[in-house]
Amino acid sequence: MGRLVQRLRRLHWLDWAILVLIALFFGYIWFQIDGALKYKWRWEIIPQYLLRYDEEAGRWATGILMQGLVNTVRISVLAGVLALAFGTILGMARVARNLTIRMLARTYLEFLRNIPAVVVIFIFYFFLSEQLIAAFKIEAWARGIARGENAWIWEIFFGDMRRFPSLVSGIVVLALFESAFVGEIVRAGIQSIPRGQREAAQSIGMTWADEMRFVVLPQAMKKVVPPLANEFIALVKNSAIVSLISVHDLTYKTVELVSSTRAIFEAWITTAILYGGLCLALSLLFRRLEGPGR
């Protein structure tokens, strides 16, 4: 509390003027919604879509918005792990000794970094994902898992297994898109290692793979933790695009809620707060983890 008071005392008159203007702006928006649009606010219905009491089961259960938030976290974590793996391989390929490998990696990175994520997800889903899912019979396998005794174990990681095909499509395409950015971060980390260390590794007979594994990557990965943390937060926000292929994330659940209740502003404001709270919590967590190493 004392720190907050000290920070408030440091504010210049211009800072206060900006804060007043921001407050007036939001007040004007509120007036337009409440007055000009004749919108009837129904905030009282929102809590039941976050957490509700299931009378039949006799316990508290998550509402559709909280279910969507859990799915968003699940998608982000799984896509983040895949993006880190793909990105590390791409980053190493960008500094490989073979020219062909370097050019292929650069082409992949430049292609994905310069087209919208929405285009990427539609290309992958409609032209590749459906064919691959049918070829490997993933949908039939997932439905079999959903009817099995150990379905709850799979549901911890993937949610409702009946929706597994669309979920895995969303995770993979999100991972492929983010891997392009992770790859550039890893490349920069590798190139930040002094060349003398790499030459020393080569002089004692290390192969390129051993050089990367034992000398370069351990140091590079420590340096790229902050930008990777920022990229993961960006991935959480970008995960909203998977709702376009019917993945039941927070955005998809919000659209369902708006369609059934017509509580447009309440639903989307609540969703914005949930996304913002999640990203802020991750930001504080990563800052805390980075603290001891500073």
Q: Where residue 35 falls among pLDDT bands split at 50, 70, 90?
A: low
Mean pLDDT on 278-292: 86
How far is 66 from 73, CA to CA, in rounded Å?
11
The lowest-confidence range among 36-40, 104-108, 178-182, 280-284 is 36-40
Distance of CA 76 to the CA centre of its chain: 4
Give the residue with greater pLDDT, 260 vs 293.
260
Q: Which residue shows structure tokens 């000009």?
A: 36
Angle at 288 between CA 285 and CA 293, to 5 degrees: 135
Residue 152 contacts residue 186 (beta carbons within 8 Å): no
Among 53-57, 64-68, 200-204, the range scoring the smallest mean pLDDT is 53-57
